[in-house]
Structure 1
Amino acid sequence: MSELIDVALAKEKADLIVANGTLVNVYTGELLEETGVAVKGEYVAYVGPNWEGMVGADTVVIDAGGRFLVPGFIDAHAHVDNLYMVSEFVKYAVPGGTTTVITETSAVANAMGYAGVVAFVEVLKAQPIPMYALAPAMVPAYPDFESSSNLSNEEIEGILELPDVVGLGETYWPRVIQSDEDVLRRVAFARQLHKPVQGHSAGARSNKLAAYAAAGILSCHEPITADEAMERLRLGMHVMVRDGSMRRDLEAISSIKDRNIDLRRVVLVTDGLWPDDLLELGCVDFLVRKAIGLGFDPMKAIQMATINPAEHFHLDHLVGGIAPGKYANLLLVPDLREVKCDCVISKGRVVAEHGRMTVPVQADAYPEALLRTMHLPCKLVAGDFAVEAPDGPSKAQVRVMDIVGEMLVAEHHTMLPVVDGHLQADPTADIIKVATLNRYDGLGTRFVAFLRGFGLRSGAMASSVCWDTYNIVVAGAGDDDMAVATNRLAELQGGVVLCEEGRILEEIPLPIGGIISTLPTVDVRDRLLHIDQELVRLGCTLSNPFLTLQTLTFTGVPHLRLTERGLLDVRHRKLVGVVV
């Protein structure tokens, strides 16, 4: 601290000075020309015009030449805990200007338990930018109906106490307003630590939404319309406007800029990026550009990606703006509407220039035990995917999971034939089988159901990336291929596998906890694209089949969901069978 004081008083020389820039001051909303930023170590010591006396023989001086000095961007609701390594994410997010990340940990928590979350936090700390975690709120989300690497209250509280954990992750509203004892205990503990609780309030409104806010939930990333965003803002919540690979809601919500309201509680977030979007669009820089293109004032758009999230997470003493005492996280940007970075500085180091990293990034390191998390008792055979029929009739009425949107599944009833006492799928009528298997209990506990809308005429696809339990989900037109795909997935210790007539068409190994690949992001992207191409050939008509497959088990949204204990009627919170 004394070094920063001495540099600001020109008694000591700075390590780095960015001179002659136009400061984007997110605290006041001003653009301040002829500004210099003096850096000592990781921190800003001085901001202003009187920097020349801080230059010494060893001081690195970067002449901004009038370019804008923009605070490093913050992704305040990320999911960098599955598909690709954190180090791979950093390589592509940082050059665009994302210098701080706050990520959920629900995937590593469900897949790898307490040890996995602790290891993941250590991986975050090893990166060249500040990266923070949110403690998982519900592992699994609904323990009465599903299983994963279940975390106790004490384990979640232990995670919350870690210094680099800055809040409690997204907390589903039904369990909160039902006064679930475990959930309210975790919320109270987070509040005791002054760590904000993140929300997940899709479908909540009016009194239910107010009750949710009353419990201490401080943010939500689920609004999909301007009116939904306004309702949450009026309750004092931070609204995290999501525009990433799961959903793109910024355009639909953008009209809030015309409502003459204070935008200080509006935050731009990705909610997770798939490899293709990360590689082609970037990270938060893309959101800022899009917001400006939709008519937001550039200063407001930048504030929504810097100071607003920093204040929400009580990190504004470190990040969110360019000011003395903060981390030296700043971007050199020629055009404030294009927001393309010439140079990215994080913690006082130049970490990227002209779209490329300039510092090494350390590969993720995990304990060996977390590389072997597939605990199926034996190889599966076609008969393991048989569905017993009621005695007697040659046909039976069954419940079918009916895909009506990328992440929406309704309940459909239809008659299916019975052969040798087992219900038969009918791929010609777009009815195939889908199953989920518990990979944690060592028993391979499973449930097999029927699915409409996937479109497969042949083949099967299996994945150990499936919300929120990260068990195994497999969909297929034939039982033999379902067994082949699942067995190969187990051999890989997790992954995504597509097969047809016993032949593996493509696979993505995910050996870290069964959810994270060690491959370069480009390779993961290319393999996912190949899977999409092969699925089209096999008859699939979905726009995003991998997303649909992995969310068939997601019990956080209506209507009919797949668990290893049965089909879950989400609205009525009860398990139902296949046969009606």
Structure 2
Amino acid sequence: MKIDLLIENALVFNSFLKTFDVENIAISGEKFYYVSKENLRYLHPSKILDASGKYIIPGFIDIHMHIESSMIPPATFSGAALSHGVTTVVADSHEIANVFGLEGIRTFMDEKTELDIFYAIPSSVPSTTPELETTGGIIGIEEVLSLLEHPDVIALGEAMNFKGITSEPDSLIRQILKTVQEQKPFMPLEGHVPRVTGEDLSKFMYAGITADHTHQSPDSILEKIKSGIFLEFQKKSITPENIAVLNKHQLFEHIAIITDDIMADDLLEGHLDANVRLAIEAGMPVREAIYTTTYTAARRMGFQDRGSISAGYLADFLILDQLENVHIEAVYKKGKLVHSRGDEMSYSKNDSAFPEQFYHSIHCSPLTKDDLQFPISKKQNCVLCNVMQIQEIGTFTEHVQREISVKNGLLDWENSGLALILVMERYGKNGNIGYGLVENALTEKGAVGTTWAHDHHNLMVMGTSMEDILQVQEELLRLNGGYAVSKDGKVTAACPLPIGGILSDESVPVLGKQLQAVRNGMREIGYKNTNEIMSFSTLSLPVSPKIKITDFGMMDVHTHEHIPLVEDDDADFIN
């Protein structure tokens, strides 16, 4: 047996006992060969590393994430993730699938990466149905069967269609769930189960879903884990009150820490390591934070070769010089050093080669003022309108109604204190435009827009003035997709995403700077949220409670009922 690397005197995390012990680690090729307290120099290692006073833990495993949320291709994401100690991910690429279908997923899978990227089949493309949202691609039974044959596919991605799961036995999502269970009975089935409780939760589980990654509360944690749901904690669920429940009931066997979505400007500061630190700050014991980002994650996905520093496992590990703040000194992947602290090369620009048509995917006409005027044919001073009310924390919305004045026969939305939001179908299929109104959005004269609109990724603009909405839409068309902000009729920030309207071909630092400018621009026009970009980008996600908008208009997330802009029975809204 050839020993390539011997690490001596390290404080090694034992995943089975959740302890740190001074051990020596022998590595041969890509795997751990022997972990022992005894002197292992008799194995004649090619290299010896003294790790006295250092901590060694398994590489982080992120089992629920979307590479596209970082707005970079896999080849760029790989180095950035490794820089933060992430050595394995399970990616649900339903964003690229919504734009380009199976071709988009295959393009991702073809990229060569140092990071181990496994895939969950996107189960909800579209997230609801083609009658409720228009997408560029659709993942049906034929596509699922094709992806099941790929060796890197190890799970079914989050099933999201609430109505299709709970009350439509013949829906596409139910067919997909049944197909996977028949073809791969041991495959993990991921769920998107926000604010689902009681019998509805049982309906999700009866369909085969066994995990949830959405926003949790102390009550939902207890109900879901008691019911048998494995919980995956993203940033917004890592709160002191939630961690207190996990600590009190010792529920760590039933959870994993994940990221779900990390944008490029946040990626500069951290990835899964940032959520580990957040969990520790919120009260989770350090050993449990490590355990739930390594071993329980591996076990959930059925990995038999990672998640522990044990003989026969892949030599994916991190060297920490400080434990409490998870201060990463070095990252090893398959026994090789891939990142040292201070190494900026991991953030380099990608060398991806996407098809030319991926750069020209925005197919909708320029807006005009006529598109932003809403005639009310009957003579009235005001009408009752349906409104999406957003919050300063999280992505959930509430359905409220507000009276809006009618001026010269037109809905006077510009002076209503609300923002107009619209979604334009961008794939050249039907030319739909859906309209809505938003409360608690913008307080200044301006607009923000994007083609990174969960999950259908049509073109979405929200603003308080016609002039700014027109400016933003024009800029998005010029960029072939991305984000843009306008204030007082002038574009103040932009972030080009020319690959499918959702990905950049820039380096992470450049993209991060562009996104930060967009965030700042949104704040300048009054947008308030702990994550402004994600809050705005999910106003179009028709599976996240309670009311969202697509190119078909506003809809109730649970019932899928269309919600008209103008509610009044005696008003004749004729646009």
TM-score higher than 0.5: yes
Q: Report the Cα offset of residue 133 of structure 1.
A: 1.9
Deviation at residue 541 of structure 1 after TM alignment: 4.6
Bigger drift between 508-517 and 477-486 goes to: 477-486
CA separation in 2, counterparts of 1:60 and 1:76? 33
Task: State the shift of 1:411 in Å.
Answer: 2.9
Confirm or deny that 1:182 pairs with 2:172.
Answer: yes
The aligned amino acid for 1:197 is L
User: Is 2:23 the counterpart of 1:31?
Assistant: no
Equivalent runs, 1:478-497 vs 2, <5 Å: 478-497=465-484
Aligned-pair CA distance for 1:346: 0.4
Instruction: Give me the whole-angstrom Cα distance separating, in 2, the residues matched to 1:257 and 1:522.
Output: 36
Match of 1:79?
66
Shift of 1:260: 4.1
In 1, Cα distance between equivalents of 2:521 and 2:542: 28
Cα displacement (A) at 1:74:
1.0
Deviations 1:124-163 (A, max 9, x none): xx22121222111111111131111222221133223321
Larger deviation: 183-192 or 106-115? 183-192
CA contact (8 A) 2:543 2:558 kept: no
Q: Pick from 340, 363, 376 the counterpart of residue 351 of structure 2.
A: 363
**CA deviation vs aligned residue, 1:221-259 (integer Å, no higher than 9, x gap):** 12522332222222222211221xxx2434331113433
CA distance in 2, matches of 1:400, 1:332: 51
User: 1:288, 1:451 → 2: CA distance?
Assistant: 34
Aligned residues: 557
The 1:233–1:480 alpha-carbon spacing in structure 2 relative to 1, beyond 3 Å, is same
Contact 2:238 2:278 in 1 (8 A): no
In structure 2, do the counterparts of structure 1 residues 419 and 565 end up closer, same or farther at CA, with 3 Å as the change threshold? same
- Check if 1:468 corresponds to 2:455: yes
Task: Tell me if structure 1 keeps the 8 A contact 2:56–2:318.
Answer: yes
Which stretch shows the higher mean deviation, 465-474 or 213-222?
213-222
Aligned to 1:299: 287
Name the SS for the 1:430 alignment partner: coil
The 5-angstrom pairing of residues 96-495 of structure 1 reads 96-123=84-111, 126-143=112-129, 144-148=131-135, 149-172=137-160, 173-178=162-167, 179-191=169-181, 192-193=183-184, 194-243=186-235, 247-280=236-269, 282-315=270-303, 317-356=304-343, 363-376=351-364, 378-405=365-392, 406-419=394-407, 421-427=409-415, 429-495=416-482
2:35 to 47, 52, 67: 47
Partner SS state of residue 423, structure 2: strand
**CA 1:504/1:290 → structure 2, altered by over 3 Å: closer, same or farther?**
closer
Q: What does residue range 508-523 of structure 1 map to in structure 2 within 5 Å?
A: 508-523=495-510
Task: Provide the rounded CA distance (Å) in 1 between the counterparts of 2:420 and 2:337.
Answer: 52
Please tell me whether residue 15 in structure 1 is matched to residue 4 in structure 2.
yes
C-alpha displacement of 1:88: 4.0
1:342 is aligned with what amino acid?
A: E
Contact 1:38–1:54 (CA under 8 A) maintained in structure 2: no
Task: Find the residue that maps to 1:328 and give its secondary structure.
Answer: coil
Distance 1:83 1:438, change over 3 A: farther
Task: Encode CA deviations 1:61-113: one digit per residue, 9 max, x unaligned.
Answer: 22222522211111122222134313444444323322111222121111221
Q: Report if aligned partners of 1:190, 1:196 keep a CA contact under 8 Å in 2.
A: no
Amino acid at match of 2:10: G
Relative to 1, partners in 2 of residues 1:69 and 1:138: Cα closer, same or farther, differing over 3 Å? Answer: same
TM-score by length of 1: 0.89
1:269-301 deviation digits (Å, cap 9, x = unpaired): 122112333222x12222333333444333222
RMSD (Å) for aligned C-alpha atoms: 2.4
Alignment partners' CA distance in 2, 1:481 and 1:338: 44
Shift of the 430–532 alpha-carbon distance from structure 1 to 2, 3 Å rule, reads farther
Q: Secondary structure at the match of 1:81?
A: helix
Please tell me whether the aligned partners of residues 481 and 499 of structure 1 are also in contact (alpha carbons under 8 angstroms): yes
> Which residue is 2:570 aligned to?
none
Equivalent pair of 2:23/2:35 in contact (CA under 8 Å): no
- Give the 3 Å change call, closer, same or farther, for CA 331–358 of structure 1 in structure 2: farther
User: Relative to structure 1, is the Cα distance of residues 381 and 250 closer, same or farther in structure 2, using a 3 angstrom cutoff?
Assistant: same
Partner Cα separation in structure 2 for residue 223 and residue 457 of structure 1: 30
Q: Cα deviations across residues 17-42 of structure 1 (Å, max 9, x unaligned)?
A: 323323211023343323222221x2
Task: Indicate which of 477, 494, 515 corresponds to 1:507.
Answer: 494
* Counterpart-to-counterpart distance in 2, 1:537 and 1:285: 30
Q: CA contact under 8 A between 2:163 and 2:560: conserved in structure 1?
A: no
Residue type of the alignment partner of 1:525: G
User: Contact 1:242/1:250 (CA < 8 Å) preserved in 2?
Assistant: no
How far is the alpha carbon of 1:50 from its aligned partner? 5.3
Give, in angstroms, the shift of residue 538 of structure 1: 3.2
SS of alignment partner, residue 411 of structure 1: strand
> TM (normalized to structure 2)?
0.90
| Contact map agreement 1:83 1:517 (CA 8 A) in 2 | no
Q: 1:238 to 1:321 in 2, by over 3 A?
A: same
For residues 429 and 408 of structure 2, what CA distance do their matches in structure 1 show? 30
Shift of 1:360: 9.0
CA contact (8 A) 1:250 1:291 kept: yes
Contact 2:27–2:335, Cα closer than 8 Å, also in 1 = no
| CA shift in 2, pair 1:360/1:45, >3 Å | farther
Q: Are the equivalent residues in 2 in contact too, given 1:389–1:423 (CA < 8 A)?
A: yes
Corresponding letter in the other structure for 1:181? S
Question: Secondary structure at the residue paired with 1:327?
Answer: coil
Once the two structures are TM-superposed, the CA of residue 199 in structure 1 deviates from its matched residue by: 1.2
Task: Judge conservation of contact 1:383–1:479 (CA < 8 Å) in 2.
Answer: no
Q: Per the alignment, do residues 545 and 302 of structure 1 end up closer, same or farther by CA in structure 2, a change over 3 Å counting?
A: closer
* Worse-matched range after superposition: 440-449 or 102-111: 440-449
Q: Is the 8 A contact 2:3 2:43 kept in 1?
A: yes
The amino acid of 1:210's aligned partner reads S
CA displacement, residues 390-425 of structure 1 (integer Å, 9 cap, x when unaligned):
333353332232334552333333333434543221
Secondary structure of the residue aligned to 2:115 is coil
Q: Deviations over 1:285-323 (max 9, x none)?
A: 2233333344433322211110101011011x2211112
Give the equivalent residue in structure 2 for 1:4: none
Please, which moves more after superposition, 303-312 or 156-165?
Answer: 156-165
Distance (Å, rounded) in 2 between the aligned partners of 1:386 and 1:236: 51
